[in-house]
Structure 1
């Protein structure tokens, strides 16, 4: 996104990058007292610069990072091997964070594999230089005598450090009883902080598991808040990114949020925070709008409220001063939590054809495809609009065939994006539920088209959400309610 690029260019000026690279080269060429003093003199500003680099890198994948900063490896490599730089704990920690951002979790080619190996060797070197490693004089000579490479040595050293810490943590637990005296809670807090920059590295996984299952002696949480936040963020991304943001995952998130809000609003004497307090990092006006439950508004005002939500989302994600891709993700993730408004947007599209159709199609395009840029999102709206227009021509027809509906949803080419296909299926399902003739062919269409296209779970999730919303609204005898329950029964039986 343009806004993201502008923000990152501002955060890390090219002149500043070149300045520190030149400094790193200069410091590496001599070991005089003057050069050492120069390092110490510049350390505060260097730390500030490295923090800026990290703030930019953490919102990029490794490929984008290398493209944006082609000399980043040379700079970090030189700094990692400067003992006066890594001797400063804050610089050492930030260097670790930057290196972890460059690590490819799924390397696609030999270059990325080689880069990963180089990154791991640097991380191992930094760890061995820290209080966690063996910081003895003459380590290089010792490694040479062993006949192995420094990368091999440091890799084994890291595994030993991790194994030792895991044993230490687990040794404090015996048959479910907490044995005091082995590990202090303060030490566990320090270990959890130490792990923050290393959370995505495979070799550290056993230590993360040991920390997450650790129980201290008191009632207070012993793991650092930074560690818990980093684990939570990483987990949500391995849950969302690995599934490609599929509708099934979005349905689970939405249903959980609805149950949570319902439980929160129960009239009891338990002390509770306001609901909006659970979403502190989001735009509060958007939070408040999404927290407004559909059954708290007359159905005649749903369309107006949806326009209000859409206008706010548009303003946020198309804002040229947007700080990062994370801002876009956070806005989308918040909207997914309250995805019932996306379901209502589809229904409003089919029930009331007016000037709002472009607004609602944009909202649905964002819901199903948050990562795309403005141009691609516009293309999704165009593709969805073509299907929508054909469906509206059939909406009042009382005699429909499966062939008619398939023709309306078809495309001349097979280049339709997956997110558009999700959106079109959402439109089709609502058409079957609410159109004059759709309900007559709904079961046949589900059986012959949906089941054949291997999208049963997706459609089942949409039906579950619809049934839950109908129940919340107190709808019982309407035709659409009965049809939803019949279709759910059929899909359960098929499954």
Structure 2
């Protein structure tokens, strides 16, 4: 069937003349005439829709029917037509069909602009003619506009939820094209609460088109409205927004980091709650691509601040929540772990990602020793291989960094190492001390890890001695070790602090004795707040262990002794 057999110029001209007459005269006779011609008008609009959908482009349609834009524009200004649900839906479909996804010339670009304004006006019409119609129908303006908006959005959502049954490249026009046009029409409405359901349907709609499935303007508008809390979206819709919009995802991660870092130091329990309430861990478990972006942001932050304990605490807490969400995913939907951690050394991937709670406690010692040995071999081997290749800027060791980055996310094994260290003999301490030193200093970039291992072992000897038979000046010596020494390699004070706190928690010394030693050392070193923060994190870490009923009260008592007001 040819185009002229669907709609001819003469028929369009007759309808345009009729519409002009209706538009110029507001009388009872005009209203009756519109009602009499409403059914034929619907049939003509349906023919127009068929015609438009068969055209290759907007320019082609306008060339063959030059009066088309004028006719549609006139009809959109007649409330007795637009108030009719079927006529209104056909008008929208005609406008969507004329919308150019990729305007090829100035005419199509201008047409797009006019279509967006027209669609927006149809949802917020407050002209005198509409007011007259509302008065005649006895409907309050606010109610009328809301009903029209809801009806329009419902019809849009029906089209948005229509899925493709065959690949888009096999047909000239498909539901994906309509969905893209709908997303364009939805841009002015994203802040309307009534539009939330439609926005969710668009974001979650499966697409088979090779082109961008949704308008960039729509994605940007929704992202901005969501970040400003102008629109409320269901969890699946938010996850889909992040999948569509890298900028929205990055903004969500940075917001989480800003809030989370403030809790890491002062209130680790609030950090736990923050991650429990956050959608991000669930989104990461559902979409590997989202996790890779989030993890890369954490990676970049840690490359700049590898000694920042609060940042490490945040990464660990996030990884723990992510792994929990991943564990509850249906087996058939799970992506292999190596896809989530493509840069991590394979030899330590599963051993680090396995939580201590999934392993018998009598296997912990051998497991931590194996982890320490494997990480140490990785570090030593790559340091040797890259020693000559590294330039004066000391670029660092990518493989070692990735192994350390994974250890940061799974640093519950560092907590286990400290617990085992307290119960170890002096000759059996090296694997645990090396793991602690590596955790705080992943590279030799200005740190001289071997020398710090010596300093750390010396500190551990003093800590062990304090809790066995405290010498008169033991607390003072240990407090001095906690303070950085000028012109001398020194491990991060928090690493020695963790040795002290682990002994206070896990040693058999009575609580009163451990509390006295702890208070004396941290007060002299000025690290009271840091100690309270580490204890809070440790309290959370041992929460699921077999000895939680005995350890948690002891940790709580030590923390309260350090910070009575918390």
Pair 1:242–1:171, CA change in 2 (3 A): farther
Pair 1:266–1:188, CA change in 2 (3 A): closer
Q: Would you say the 8 A contact 1:294–1:302 is kept in 2? A: yes
Secondary structure at 1:318's aligned position in 2?
helix
Pair 1:210–1:379, CA change in 2 (3 A): farther
Given the two structures, how large is their TM-score scaled by the length of structure 2?
A: 0.45
Whether 2:237 is the aligned partner of 1:175: answer no
Secondary structure at 2:534's aligned position in 1?
helix
Q: Would you say the 8 A contact 1:303–1:348 is kept in 2? A: yes
TM-superposed deviation, 1:266: 4.7
Pair 1:273–1:362, CA change in 2 (3 A): same
Structure 1 residue corresponding to 2:559, chosen from 477, 485, 488: 488
**How far apart in 2 are the matches of 1:298 and 1:247?**
29
* Other-structure match for 2:512: 440
Whether 2:305 is the aligned partner of 1:235: answer no
**How far apart in 1 are the matches of 2:212 and 2:328?**
40
**How far apart in 2 are the matches of 1:189 and 1:229?**
22
TM-superposed deviation, 1:356: 3.3
Q: Would you say the 8 A contact 2:476–2:524 is kept in 1? A: no
* Other-structure match for 1:426: 498
Q: Would you say the 8 A contact 2:372–2:435 is kept in 1? A: yes
Pair 1:392–1:454, CA change in 2 (3 A): closer
* Other-structure match for 1:368: 440
* Other-structure match for 2:313: 251
Pair 1:461–1:257, CA change in 2 (3 A): farther
**How far apart in 2 are the matches of 1:386 and 1:356?**
15
Whether 2:379 is the aligned partner of 1:317: answer yes
Secondary structure at 1:309's aligned position in 2?
helix
Q: Would you say the 8 A contact 1:329–1:370 is kept in 2? A: yes
Pair 1:211–1:231, CA change in 2 (3 A): farther
* Other-structure match for 1:31: none
Pair 1:453–1:186, CA change in 2 (3 A): farther
Pair 1:191–1:240, CA change in 2 (3 A): farther
User: How many matched pairs?
Assistant: 309
Pair 1:390–1:233, CA change in 2 (3 A): closer
More moved, 282-291 vs 376-385: 282-291
**Higher-RCO chain (CA-CA 8 Å, sequence separation at least 6):** 1
Structure 1 residue corresponding to 2:480, chosen from 392, 398, 410: 410
* TM-align CA RMSD: 4.6
Structure 2 residue corresponding to 1:389, chosen from 441, 452, 461: 461
Whether 2:407 is the aligned partner of 1:335: answer yes
Pair 1:477–1:423, CA change in 2 (3 A): same
Q: Cα deviations across residues 154-176 of structure 1 (Å, max 9, x unaligned)?
A: xxxxxxxxxxxxxx9x9776425
TM-superposed deviation, 1:290: 1.0
Q: Would you say the 8 A contact 2:417–2:432 is kept in 1? A: yes
Pair 1:292–1:274, CA change in 2 (3 A): same
Q: Would you say the 8 A contact 1:409–1:424 is kept in 2? A: no
TM-superposed deviation, 1:229: 8.5
**How far apart in 1 are the matches of 2:225 and 2:401?**
28
TM-superposed deviation, 1:339: 0.6
Q: Would you say the 8 A contact 1:257–1:337 is kept in 2? A: yes
TM-superposed deviation, 1:307: 1.5
Q: Would you say the 8 A contact 1:383–1:420 is kept in 2? A: no
Whether 2:327 is the aligned partner of 1:265: answer yes
**How far apart in 2 are the matches of 1:185 and 1:446?**
63
**How far apart in 2 are the matches of 1:458 and 1:313?**
27
* Other-structure match for 1:108: none
Q: Would you say the 8 A contact 2:484–2:490 is kept in 1? A: no
Secondary structure at 2:468's aligned position in 1?
coil
Secondary structure at 1:410's aligned position in 2?
helix
Secondary structure at 1:364's aligned position in 2?
helix
Given the two structures, how large is their TM-score scaled by the length of structure 1?
A: 0.50
Q: Cα deviations across residues 422-481 of structure 1 (Å, max 9, x unaligned)?
A: 211111111222334473233344445435645345323432333234321132453x43
TM-superposed deviation, 1:359: 2.2
**How far apart in 2 are the matches of 1:228 and 1:270?**
19
* Other-structure match for 2:368: 306
Pair 1:337–1:211, CA change in 2 (3 A): farther
**How far apart in 2 are the matches of 1:378 and 1:337?**
24
Q: Would you say the 8 A contact 1:395–1:437 is kept in 2? A: yes
* Other-structure match for 1:357: 429
Secondary structure at 1:319's aligned position in 2?
helix
**How far apart in 2 are the matches of 1:301 and 1:227?**
34
Pair 1:228–1:262, CA change in 2 (3 A): closer
Structure 1 unpaired stretches of 5+: 1-167, 193-205
Pair 1:402–1:242, CA change in 2 (3 A): farther
Structure 2 residue corresponding to 1:464, chosen from 515, 521, 536: 536
Q: Cα deviations across residues 396-434 of structure 1 (Å, max 9, x unaligned)?
A: 33xx47853333453498236564422111111112223
* Other-structure match for 2:340: 278
Deviating beyond 6 angstroms after TM superposition, the runs of 4 or more aligned structure 1 residues are 170-173, 187-192, 209-218, 224-231, 267-270
Q: Would you say the 8 A contact 2:479–2:525 is kept in 1? A: no
**How far apart in 2 are the matches of 1:217 and 1:423?**
39
